[in-house]
Amino acid sequence: MILLIAFLVGIALIFSGTWKNGEQWRFLKRLGKNQSGLVSAERNPLTVGQAVSLALESEGEIQSQVAFITGIEKGNLFLRTENNPTLRPESQEVRACRALQPGAKVTIEAAGQDALFRFSTLITQVTTGKSYAGERLLVLPLTPSFQKVQRRKHFRAPFVTPATFAVVPQDHPSADAIPVHGTLLDLSEGGFRADLGFALGVEEKEALLQSLQSGVFLRVRLPIALFTEPLWAKIVVAESGVQRGGLSVRVTCEFLQMEGWQREFIASHLFQLQRERLKAS
């Protein structure tokens, strides 16, 4: 009799857990998002042809690269990324690409129509593409929900383009700013991410990283019409980055002393670019 009661209780608990999981999924599907900022995968912000940020931890550092969505089917996300075959086998970029193996945990960030979304998942399949040398094709399962990490107020979109940067010395703010080669990675009306330095060695990267700590001021000239003067920005985060041919310093910055029309113009420009990308895909 005791065994029968224990069996019935176990069945009830299993049924209860299954019912709760089903209810949670139906709740997310019906509501679209919950109080924690989760957005149901049923309201998928991802689109075939869209560029996303793919990040994973490799050798103690967070490595990120751009990937492109090639398909969304049966709960799986199909991505295409590129590994430059001309790099040395021991280069950090090649080692990071080598870490893209089945079972590796990656974090995907993608820009939707009105926000930036993020989710983490495990790679289930990696194959070598046939279109050109260095092409990698990834298969990842979609999660039941995405985390909304950014509202439209600070909508961020991929904006990979060279730009002119200058570092303002902290100890001599009135001194001439020091020019630094750099490439914008993404942009919002609130700030940007960029890779500073080009194909640096380890010692060069460390020296530049020391001069680009949190709180350091930059001036950046955006390659956008109407922005004829450089804008002021402050570094929020500085970390090691990887690019083709060597290392860089990746900075996350916030804009300072911007006019309202400047923020609105950047936001309008980014949404226009995103609409054009979606139409082209």
Span 91-96, average pLDDT: 57
pLDDT of amino acid 223: 86
pLDDT-derived band at 54 (thresholds 50, 70, 90) equals: confident
Higher pLDDT, 135 or 232: 232
CB atoms within 10 A of CB 186: 21
Structural domains of the chain, ranges and CATH numbers in brackets:
41-150 (2.30.110.10), 154-280 (2.40.10.220)
Q: Which residue type occupies 75? A: G
pLDDT of amino acid 21: 41
pLDDT-derived band at 172 (thresholds 50, 70, 90) equals: low
Which of 55, 59, 87 shows the shortest CA–CA distance to 199?
87
Q: Tell whether pTM > 0.75.
A: no
pLDDT-derived band at 130 (thresholds 50, 70, 90) equals: low
Span 194-212, average pLDDT: 91
Q: Are 145 and 120 a contacting pair, CB within 8 Å? A: no
- What's the CA gap between 95 and 196, in Å, rounded? 21
pLDDT of amino acid 157: 79
pLDDT of amino acid 78: 92
Range among 21-25, 74-78, 258-262 with highest mean pLDDT value: 74-78
Q: Order of strands, edge to edge, in the sheet holding 38-40?
A: 38-40, 145-150, 116-122, 105-111, 51-58, 61-73, 76-82, 135-141, 125-128
Higher pLDDT, 57 or 144: 144
Q: What is the dihedral of CA 229, 156, 199, 219, to 10 degrees?
A: 20
Contacts of 256 (CB under 8 A, 6+ apart): 217, 231, 232, 233, 234
pLDDT of amino acid 275: 72
Higher pLDDT, 112 or 255: 255
Give the chain's mean pLDDT: 74
Span 108-128, average pLDDT: 80
Phi/psi at 272 (nearest 5 deg)? -65, -45
- What's the CA gap between 212 and 190, in Å, rounded? 19
Higher pLDDT, 112 or 79: 79
Which of 167, 175, 256 shows the shortest CA–CA distance to 213?
167
pLDDT-derived band at 251 (thresholds 50, 70, 90) equals: very high
